[in-house]
Amino acid sequence: MLKIITPFLLLISSNLIAQNDIPEQKKLEEVVITGQYKPQSIKNSVHQIRVITKDRIIKQGAINLQTVLSNELNIRFTQDAATGGSDITMMGMKGQNVKILIDGLPMVGRQGTSNEININQIDINTIERIEIVEGPMAVIYGADALAGVINIITKKNKSDKLSVYARLQEETVGKEYGITNGIHNQSIGLDWRKKNWEIGGNIAHNFFGGWKDTAIERELVWHKKDQIMSSGYIGYRKNKFSARYRIDGLDEIITNPANFNVFPNQISGDYYAGDQQYITNRQMHQLQSSYNFSNALNAQLQSSFTDYSRQVYSTILSKQTGKESLDMGTGKQTLIKFTGFTFRGMVNYKLSKIISLQPGVDINLDRGEGERLNAGKNKVDDYAFFLTSEITPTSKLNIRPGIRFIKNSIYNAPPLVTSLNAKYSFTNKLDFRVSYARGFRSPSLRELYFNFFDANHQIIGNPNLKAETSHSFTSSLNWNKTTAKQMEISFVLNGFYNNVKNLIDYAIDAADPNIYMLANVTDSKTAGTSFSSSAKYKRWNITLGGAYTGFYNDFYGTDKSLPTLQWSPEINSNIGYSISKIGLDLNLFYKLNGKRPYYATNSNQEIVQATQQSYQLADFTINKKLCKYISLNTGVRNIFDVNRLTSNYTAGGIHTANNGRSIATGRGYFVGININLEKK
Amino acid sequence: MIKIQFGIILGLITIVLFSECRKRDSLPLQDNFVAFESAAQGISSSESSITVKLNLLNTTSTDLPLLINVTELGLTYSAQYSTTPAAVAGKISLIVPAGSNKVSFTLNKIPNAIFDGNEKLIFDILSAGSSVSIGVTKQFILNFAELVSTTSTATINGGGANFGNKVFVDISTTRQNAILRTNWDLSFYTGTDDFRVKLNSSMNMMAKQLNKIDLNSVSSADTIGFTNEVAFSPFAPTAISLPYIDYPNGDLTRTAIAAISTTASDNRVYIVNRGSVIGTSGASRGWKKIRIIRNGSNGYTIQYADIAATTFTSTDIPKDENSFYKDFSFENGITTIEPTKKKWDFAWTYFANTTNFGTGEVPYMFQDVVLLNRNVQAAKVLVSSKPFVDFAEADLNTQTFLSTQNAIATDWRSGGGPGTAPSVRTDRYYIIRDTDNNYYKLRFTALTQNNERGYPSYEAILIKRG
């Protein structure tokens, strides 16, 4: 039996290992691993999982994850003008509720582990597929996934061979393109495997020259960004044992140039410009291994260690001499460091034909220090034990109850978290899934230990924060059919409802009105429904989906006569036409983010209805295989030329209101070349 | 073949494992410059000494020597004037100590020396230590008569990012007087028309009237429930606190403390929140209780004590019409803060202002507020209607002058927001009618010095002599 495992392992991520009862697979893409006991076909998974494949990423010519995910239902992005990063919204919830995993292990970002990961700091060239699960998944993956989990599965060679790949891509940023502006990306990598060993690595350089648009002189509307991302892995497997080490490195420099002062300095007579760079370094090490004791018993270990730092580096440029010098002003040179350690150990045990058990431990240790945090090393240690069980009384019914016990060194975590997933197959074409899960978002290191004092602002974290908790309900109905004429049709209907308690937000310290502190202040809700469908027939591949999402109205707390939820529609569609004979693929990716109503207060203290306008994102791409090893791609990005969104209302205040949300940099064009060499 | 493959693989892994992150930490420091604070000043016949200031662009890391040459026009050292430190063979040696960014020397008139008003001294920076270059204003001319500057430029010494100073500026003499804003608490109006007391508006101070007239009967119990209300909140200010500040336009009928009545029993006790210390700690300066009455010599008497005290101190505050206000500190009693009536035109300060966050007017502390003296007026001109360089005397009569103290306030700079730093507004300037009816066109040329807040610069050009 064990002999069967080996080939199957080739097509799965290492973090979960196959048992001997391997499902019959028609297509590799259909296999998912997030939250599974073993790699499963999407159809058999008890969770409703959306999969974005490498093939889809290549077809879109995407150079970052944002481009890909922007096209998905229930996911939206805005650009953070200050940091040059991008903020994700998923299922109507902010990015801190979206858990980003690499091969099942959590990432560390600017706010500490797993909170507000900048998704564009992940190298798209190393991705095999992306699995998106809506709902908390807290029993297995712990905190911070109130909206859902995005699990990024990295590439692996699927059979004994050497493959070397390289990619070059050039893009305009709106109308801007040149040596120092536009996008210039290069990457090269290889994967090799033979018998028991696999080894590989990749290095990528992504250059984004910033977006000038309406800015004058030296200023940019979007900051300039220069990324070097690298990865390497080594794996060994023999008989019942497998182990794999992987390292991912990020070195990102975001540059924010300023204009020269309008008037000369009175002392020197020179004109100065104060520039800033935000420098992020991250190294993530993972070690994953598994051992099969018997057909009914296997064990898996997953661990990761991440070192993260973000430096703010300020310089002063002299107009007269061109000399760049260090800015020694207060708060101009800062450094923040986080480290995160995760260990997860699980055992899969098949008790009988009907019942399987998966007990496990999950340990997460976070450390943080630096600017705007309490002095010294701040720690959060989290220990959890979880147990899930899969019950299959009949082949049609699959029930998965789960429970997690948590002990946290700092904050008041819910002592136990439960979930219940069930799947029922009416026929082999029609499946129904329903889930209830308790989710929680732990306060981030920053929320616990924030410390920012200047002449006018005093903001502090709160070590007494409780976790935000949620009750999350999802359900889905899937129908699919393959006809004799090789036509494949599928249809999915989804619904979700989230009720979040103890939302963490800023509040005034009861003891001192000069101090703003983080506190568990309010409750929130989101709900939504969506459908997606796809049809494949001969050369055509068409998907069509729609969603209707309810965003929580922040003013509901102060005025109960207002609606709790404010609804916004979405539509997405991909149309693909492929002529495999000549290796030509044409694709249109389309997404409509409908207009989004919200409430705000006007200058007369009245709560008024406002709207954020709708916008459409669309890319048209052409892929052409030149020969066996080389393919070209080209296309139009953002056909509808979206840049900023205006709202019909802007609130007053001390700091100048921003002139709308930044979404994209306008219509652009790209051309790229992919090289894939393979040797058996 | 296998060997080659292994070579490639090992090479790549080596690159990945041993490649170092790009670091950013080694740039030279900015070139440093030294210059006089102003190009010319006058010393009036009533003044016996003047301090001449020089500023560095950046603090120096080592003791920095400076040599100043003195050229006498109609004057003789020792006979009519001397300097501290003393000039030797017509040269003054100065040291800017390590860690500092300024230095000054003092010029003293010899007692009983006679001046005709046409004498001048010319100071030139001869040389400076090797780590510093000589900047724009390398010469300073001191006239031995009060001067009406035709051009006045200066960087205001606001005390840096914590806005530590209130700075009174006299445009016509290019002088500034920087005073630590914790040096006083109350200002008593000296005019004959009214009895009014202002809070120090450069602090986040508030005062609330109690329904008591016996100071000793007030205890900390009287502040219960008011600690949040009688205080500035940077995050959620409310209109409830509005009566506890002096209205920012300077209208004396809208002060937190009611007019001091001739009927002593009408003058109630106030509890005073002294705000927070200068700096980032935000520590409270505590509370005082006060009661102010009129005294028999047409002045004020203030009774004051700590909240829990059972005795109080009394201080008489006479009206003195040289200044608009007589200033008072709980620590030091009567103290001189605001220069005399004609010695300042505008002041730059951290300020107890009001704003609207969308829910009506609420108290809020503002940085970089420019306030006018009571006898000064200002008009705003947009560059689009008349460029700064073109504005001349003939344009004066089309301007609308305002005399409220907050006529300029923070109009001269934008507050910034996410992704944009606060900055000077270059699309506007102001016409100032000063205390001697001179008209100046005034523009602000910097919000910061070397990116540090609290050091704004201005340029003023005389349009019409008063």
Q: What is the pLDDT of residues B35-91, one digit of tens each?
A: 998 888 889 888 899 999 999 998 899 999 999 999 999 999 999 999 999 999 999
Q: Give the DSSP H or E segment for A5.
A: helix A2-9
Q: How would residue B182 be classed by pLDDT, with cut points 50, 70 and 90?
A: very high
Instruction: Give the model's pLDDT for residue A451.
Output: 75
Question: Which of A230, A268, A277, A659 should one mutate to test binding to chain B, selecting the residue with the greatest count of B CBs within 10 A?
Answer: A268
Q: Give the DSSP H or E segment for B405.
A: none
Higher pLDDT, B356 or A62: A62
Q: Which residues of A touch B276 (CB under 8 A)?
A: 514
Shortest CA gap B289–chain A (Å): 20
Q: What rounded mean pLDDT belongs to chain A? A: 85
Instruction: Give the model's pLDDT for residue B414.
Output: 85
Q: How would residue B280 be classed by pLDDT, with cut points 50, 70 and 90?
A: confident
Closest Cα in chain B to A517: B235
**How many residue pairs bridge chain A and chain B with CB atoms within 8 Å of each other?**
216
Question: Which of B1, B2, B27 should one mutate to test binding to chain A, selecting the residue with the greatest count of A CBs within 10 A?
Answer: B27
**Listed residue (A345, A347, A360) closest to A296, CA to CA:** A347
Shortest CA gap B76–chain A (Å): 30
Task: Give the tens place of pLDDT for each residue, A523-542.
Answer: 888 999 999 999 998 899 99
Residues 117-136 of B with CB under 8 A from A: 133, 135-136
Task: Flag whether pLDDT at A4 surpasses 80.
Answer: no
Higher pLDDT, A611 or A422: A422
Say whether residue A457 is in contact with chain B using an 8 A CB cutoff.
yes
Q: How would residue A444 be classed by pLDDT, with cut points 50, 70 and 90?
A: confident
Query: Which of A280-289, A594-603, B128-137 bottoms out in mean pLDDT, i.e. has the lowest?
Result: A594-603
Instruction: Give the model's pLDDT for residue B13.
Output: 60
Question: DSSP for A474-499?
Answer: EEEEEEEEE-TTSEEEEEEEEEEEEE
Shortest CA gap A231–chain B (Å): 7
Q: Which residues of B touch A271 (CB under 8 A)?
A: none
CB contact under 8 A, B228 and A264: no
In A442-564, DSSP assigns E strands to 451-453, 458-460, 468-482, 487-508, 516-537, 540-552
CB A201 within 8 A of CB A164: no
What percent of chain A shows pLDDT beyond 70? 89
Pairing of strands A297-318, A333-350: antiparallel
What is the average per-residue pLDDT within B173-185? 94
What is the average per-residue pLDDT within A414-424? 90
Residue among A267, A329, A604 whose CB faces B33 most closely = A267
> CA A36, A40, A42, A46 torsion: positive or negative?
negative
Q: What rounded mean pLDDT belongs to chain B? A: 90
Instruction: Give the model's pLDDT for residue A18.
Output: 34
Q: Which residues of B touch A232 (CB under 8 A)?
A: 12-13, 16-17
CB contact under 8 A, A324 and B282: no
SS3 A115: coil
Q: Give the DSSP H or E segment for B9.
A: helix B2-18
Q: Which residues contact A29 (CB under 8 A, 6 or more apart)?
A: A51, A53, A55, A129
Higher pLDDT, B359 or B219: B219
CB A34 within 8 A of CB A106: no
| Angstrom distances, CA of residue B324 to CA of B171, B198, B261, B380 | 19, 11, 19, 25
Instruction: Give the model's pLDDT for residue A656.
Output: 40
Say whether residue A375 is in contact with chain B using an 8 A CB cutoff.
no
Question: DSSP for A404-433?
Answer: EEEEESSSB--SEEEEEEEEEESSSSEEEE
Instruction: Give the model's pLDDT for residue A12.
Output: 34
Q: Give the DSSP H or E segment for B131.
A: none
Task: Flag whether pLDDT at A339 surpasses 80.
Answer: yes
Q: How would residue A591 be classed by pLDDT, with cut points 50, 70 and 90?
A: very high
Task: Flag whether pLDDT at A661 surpasses 90.
Answer: no
Task: Give the tens place of pLDDT for each residue, B388-415.
Answer: 999 999 999 999 999 999 999 999 998 7
Q: Which residues contact B215 (CB under 8 A, 6 or more apart)?
A: B269, B289, B290, B291, B303, B304, B305, B312
- Cα–chain center distance at A563: 30
Which conformational region is residue A351 in: left (phi greater than 0), alpha (psi within -120 to 50 degrees), or beta?
alpha
| Assigned token pair, A608 | 């008024």
Task: Flag whether pLDDT at B224 surpasses 80.
Answer: no
CB contact under 8 A, A329 and B450: yes
Q: Which residues contact A24 (CB under 8 A, 6 or more apart)?
A: none
Question: Which of B3, B6, B21 should one mutate to test binding to chain A, selecting the residue with the greatest count of A CBs within 10 A?
Answer: B21
| Angstrom distances, CA of residue A297 to CA of A17, A24, A229, A346, B49 | 11, 21, 38, 11, 94
Q: Which of A134-143, A462-471, B455-464 has the highest mean pLDDT?
A: B455-464
Instruction: Give the model's pLDDT for residue B232.
Output: 87
Shortest CA gap B108–chain A (Å): 26
CB contact under 8 A, A658 and B232: no
Instruction: Give the model's pLDDT for residue A610.
Output: 79
Task: Flag whether pLDDT at A457 surpasses 70.
Answer: no
Q: Which residues contact B199 (CB under 8 A, 6 or more apart)?
A: B185, B186, B205, B206, B207, B245, B246, B255, B256, B257, B272, B352
CB A85 within 8 A of CB A110: yes
Higher pLDDT, A30 or A343: A343
φ and ψ at residue A5, rounded to 5 degrees: -60, -45
- ipTM of the prediction: 0.76
Instruction: Give the model's pLDDT for residue A25.
Output: 38
Instruction: Give the model's pLDDT for residue A300.
Output: 94
Pairing of strands B40-42, B139-143: parallel
Shortest CA gap B81–chain A (Å): 28
CB contact under 8 A, A515 and B282: yes
Instruction: Give the model's pLDDT for residue A33.
Output: 87
Task: Flag whether pLDDT at A597 surpasses 90.
Answer: no
Query: Which of A606-620, B27-41, B193-207 bottoms out in mean pLDDT, i.e. has the lowest?
Result: A606-620
Instruction: Give the model's pLDDT for residue B115.
Output: 87
CB B333 within 8 A of CB B348: no
CA torsion angle B404 B408 B409 B414 (round to 10) = 160
Task: Give the tens place of pLDDT for each residue, B147-177.
Answer: 788 888 888 999 888 899 999 999 999 889 9
Closest Cα in chain A to B26: A326
Ranges of H-type helices in A341-464 = 445-449
CA distance A551 to B42: 67
Residue among B231, B364, B415 whose CB faces A513 most closely = B231
- The separation between the first and the last C-alpha atoms of chain B, rounded to the nearest angstrom, is 95
Task: Give the tens place of pLDDT for each residue, B93-125.
Answer: 999 999 998 999 999 999 988 888 889 999 999
Instruction: Give the model's pLDDT for residue B121.
Output: 95
Shortest CA gap A459–chain B (Å): 9
Task: Give the tens place of pLDDT for each residue, A199-238.
Answer: 999 999 999 999 998 888 898 888 899 999 999 999 999 9
Q: Which residues of B touch A510 (CB under 8 A)?
A: 228
Q: Which residues of A touch B419 (CB under 8 A)?
A: 81-82, 658
CB atoms within 10 A of CB B447: 24
Say whether residue A281 is in contact with chain B using an 8 A CB cutoff.
yes
Residues 311-340 of A with CB under 8 A from B: 311, 313-316, 318, 321, 323-330, 332
Say whether residue A607 is in contact with chain B using an 8 A CB cutoff.
no
φ and ψ at residue B81, rounded to 5 degrees: -150, 165
Amino acid present at A540 = W
